[in-house]
Structures are given as structure tokens and as C-alpha cells.
Amino acid sequence: MFDFRMEIRPENLEKASRGIWPTTYIEIIVETMDRSDMNNKIIGFAYFPLFLVKDGTVPPNDDKASSFIYNDGAHQIPVYYNRFNPNERISLAGLQKMPKIDCATLCVRSFQCPVDTRG
């Protein structure tokens, strides 16, 4: 799909009172339509961290982290065979253990939304 856009703001979240934590990942489900039966089929899953630690190298692993930056820019992220266990917290260490689909990546452009004078 080209030109897909999505805004992530605390007020748009399912649990808006919680806000957006520094450990937040976006889960992207990659699907296709199977021409043999015209049903949607899941190809894999991709995970994008919204924030990085202040030096910009890795995502924070603590919800109470206070020194983090927005993961701004253009990124190429891997697609994984399996979905991250919903009962576990998504983490870089956990993702590094998951099998990736060979030669399958997603291009993600992430930009901080402009804010008005009220924040």
C-alpha cells in the first residue's frame, strides 16, 4: 500500500489515559490477498519503536525513562514470521530472537507531528 498515513496521539489511543510511554512500539501486520480464494492472508509482522534513548541507538526498556527522543526519520524495518507474544512486553532483545522473513522489509517514515501553542 502506498501513501498510507497514520497519526499516533495520546487522545487517539484505545487507552488514552495511559498516554504514550517511552517503550511504545507500533505493530504493523503485513497482509496480502490470496488470488486463489480472494481471502486476506497474513504474511508477517513488523515492529517500530516510537522512541529511542537519548543517544539515538536503541529503544528505552523502562516505562519511567525520562531521557528519550522521538524516533524521527526514514527507516527500513524487518518483517517477522511470528507475532510478538501479546502477554510479553515488546523489546529489542525479544525481537532479535525472532525469525525474520528473508528479503522482506518495510519502509517506515516517522515524523513528529506539529503542535499548536497549547502543546
Residue 39 DSSP SS3:
strand
What predicted TM-score, i.e. pTM, was given to this entire model? 0.82
The domain of 77 spans 10-110
Asked if residue 116 belongs to a domain, the reply is: no
Residue 11 DSSP SS3:
helix
Asked if residue 115 belongs to a domain, the reply is: no
Q: pLDDT digit of tens for each residue in the chain (119 aa)?
A: 567 777 777 666 665 556 688 898 999 999 988 999 999 999 999 999 999 999 888 999 888 888 899 999 999 999 999 999 889 889 999 999 999 999 999 999 988 877 777 65
Asked if residue 40 belongs to a domain, the reply is: yes
- Which residues are bridge partners to 77 per DSSP? 106
Asked if residue 91 belongs to a domain, the reply is: yes
Asked if residue 88 belongs to a domain, the reply is: yes
Asked if residue 70 belongs to a domain, the reply is: yes
Please tell me the total count of domains within the chain: 1
Among residues 104, 117, 110, 113, the alpha carbon closest in space to that of 26 is found at: 110
**Count of CB atoms within 10 A of residue 33's CB?**
10
